């Protein structure tokens, strides 16, 4: 009889553990603490967008991880990287005389670069969601530059356009400098160390 009770007790404990894992949501580290650590400021934006409903926000973020967490990025060749760096430098120069046009082109350049790195290129929202999973601290720069480049942001001031370019540059740097690791994930460590040197076009004295 005691053996039967022990077996029943073990089954109950097992059911409780499984229930706790399922309650935490799909994917590793997708409980509240894991999502907050992973998404940082993007977590707060999701909560605000859902009017403070943390469960709805966490469900949305967990869905993003489920869809895009295993995304394998593609490396850029040295030539591709140099071309993108030169293109961005040209946009920064163009901003002086035509800020709205430069911002619109920066939005398009980011979309092309993200697609080249392996992020979805079917729709802006899907691409943004995927970028938020892997570049949560920089993705809002893309969101902002896309907004001010659209008709909705056509009345943006020069300062707002400048801030949009600065924010977009942060994501640009990550996409240019981040390297896929051996497991197909993304390694960010080299970006901060190499930023000043690696973002200069060849032949530039900047």
Residue 127 lies in a domain: yes
Query: 114 to each of 14, 67, 171, how far by Cα in Å?
Result: 43, 16, 10
Largest CA distance in the chain: 86
Shared-domain flag, residues 85 and 168:
yes
Look at residue 186 and give its three-state secondary structure: strand
Shared-domain flag, residues 173 and 145:
yes
Residue 87 lies in a domain: yes
pLDDT tens sequence across 48-99? 999 999 999 999 999 999 999 999 999 999 999 999 999 999 999 999 999 9
Beta bridge partners of 180: 186
Shared-domain flag, residues 138 and 106:
yes
CB atoms within 10 A of CB 144: 21
Shared-domain flag, residues 127 and 52:
no
Given 30, 47, 68, the domain boundary residue is: 68
> Would you say residue 198 has pLDDT above 50?
no
pLDDT tens sequence across 147-174? 999 877 678 999 999 999 999 999 999 9
pTM above 0.75, yes or no: no
Residue 19 lies in a domain: yes
Shared-domain flag, residues 61 and 111:
no
Full domain range(s) for residue 10:
2-68
Domain count along the chain = 2
Instruction: Copy the structure tokens of residue 55.
Output: 């469960």
Specify whether the CB–CB gap between 139 and 126 falls below 8 A. no
Query: 85 to each of 10, 25, 76, 109, how far by Cα in Å?
Result: 60, 40, 12, 11
Shared-domain flag, residues 37 and 94:
no
Residue 189 lies in a domain: yes
Residue 205 lies in a domain: no
Shared-domain flag, residues 116 and 90:
yes
Helix and strand counts by DSSP (H, E) for the chain: 10, 2
């Amino acid at each position: 009889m005691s053996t039967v009770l022990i077996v029943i007790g073990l089954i109950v404990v097992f059911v409780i553990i499984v229930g706790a894992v399922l309650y935490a949501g799909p994917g590793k580290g997708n409980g509240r603490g894991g999502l907050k650590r992973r998404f940082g400021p993007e977590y707060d934006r999701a909560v605000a967008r859902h009017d403070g409903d943390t469960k709805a926000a966490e469900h949305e973020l967990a869905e993003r991880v489920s869809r895009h967490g295993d995304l394998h990025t593609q490396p850029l060749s040295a030539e591709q990287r140099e071309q993108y760096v030169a293109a961005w430098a040209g946009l920064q120069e163009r901003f002086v005389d035509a800020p709205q046009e430069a911002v619109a082109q920066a939005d398009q350049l980011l979309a092309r670069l993200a697609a080249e790195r392996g992020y979805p290129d079917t729709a802006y929202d899907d691409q943004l969601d995927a970028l938020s999973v892997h570049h949560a601290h920089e993705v809002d720069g893309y969101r902002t530059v896309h907004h001010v480049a659209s008709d909705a942001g056509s009345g943006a001031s020069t300062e707002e356009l400048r801030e949009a370019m600065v924010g977009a540059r942060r994501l640009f740097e990550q996409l240019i400098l981040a390297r896929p690791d051996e497991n197909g994930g993304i390694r960010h460590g080299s970006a901060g160390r190499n930023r000043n040197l690696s973002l200069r076009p060849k032949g530039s004295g900047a």
